[in-house]
Amino acid sequence: METISHTRTLGRTGIEVSALGFGCWAIGGEWQDPDGQPLGWGTVDDEESVRAVRRALDLGVTFFDTADTYGAGHSERVLGRALGKRRADVVLATKWGNIFDEETRTLTGSDDSPAYARRALTASLRRLDTDYVDLYQLHLSDADPDKAAELREVCEEFVSEGLIRSYAWSTDDPARAAVFAEGAHCAAVQHRLNILQDAPEMLALCEELGLASINRSPLAMGLLTGKRAAGQALEAGDIRSTPPAWLPGFSQGAGADPEWVQRVDALKDILTSGGRTLAQGALAWTWARSPRTVPIPGFRTVAQAEQNAGAIAQGPLTAAQLAEIDGILGR
């Protein structure tokens, strides 16, 4: 079995992170858009979230990714409380660009101005109970590149002031990622990557420019955990119950899409080889895909934290297994 280093370097910064990060969208709890559509993953137990973060730390996970808008500020507050005196032991990433109402937990708009970037950072530092962020990420995936260039320079100012150590853009567009990469302290791009949704152009860009590839949705919003049967309804507060256009793999009110479930079933034998769970196999694929990848699966419980962290010891899939998967998926 191939092995994987337990750590990776965050792009050109020299900052070391665990090969696996944890995404903190789900622990933000329920929040919504102005029309009342859910943007969270359903109800959450804050005390269990705190225990899960601390368990992940004990298991060697040192990279945690959140956003100011997750739970309309709640995810940052929970994460900050969970880290407590262990803040210095982790690499902390958050995002900005969306406007929200904390009291009603509602997304209200977006703001790509330099002035708002500073206000958002100040608020995130307060919620996270820290005086610096290791990786600050633009959360507007389709922002205008010229405006983003201004924001890149603002991020450089934040670095010089000691408020952040590095920055990135959360986008699936390689051309946009390249705009941020022109900055000296740009460390990464956060983008979607999983077995069902490969991103060869973005991975090539990360290799060319020396960026870390931070992978959201490495488990395809839960489809690669094996827990989602076709047609199984989700709770009302779960974004997947009424999926927006950018969220494939789920049908309105009907849970997982049958075609996507069939694809996962076809890969099950490969992914569960070597005693892995299906989720661990999905993470193993991500590591095998590029030495720059840092998948950030979500979690809500201690059990999920333990299963995800357990993937590191299993190592990546082999090149032969990657080729076999491509053959099954017709790539």
Structure tokens at 310: 């357990």
Instruction: Tell the CATH superfamily of the 7-329 domain.
Output: NADP-dependent oxidoreductase domain (3.20.20.100)
Report pLDDT for 1: 41
Q: Which parts of the chain register pLDDT below 50?
A: 1-3
Report pLDDT for 326: 96
Report pLDDT for 229: 54
For the chain, domain boundaries? 7-329
pTM of the model: 0.95
Spatial contact of 311 and 280, defined as CB atoms under 8 Å apart: yes
Report pLDDT for 261: 87
Report pLDDT for 3: 47
Rounded distance, CA 207 to CA 221, Å?
26
Spatial contact of 202 and 174, defined as CB atoms under 8 Å apart: yes
Rounded distance, CA 105 to CA 139, Å?
18
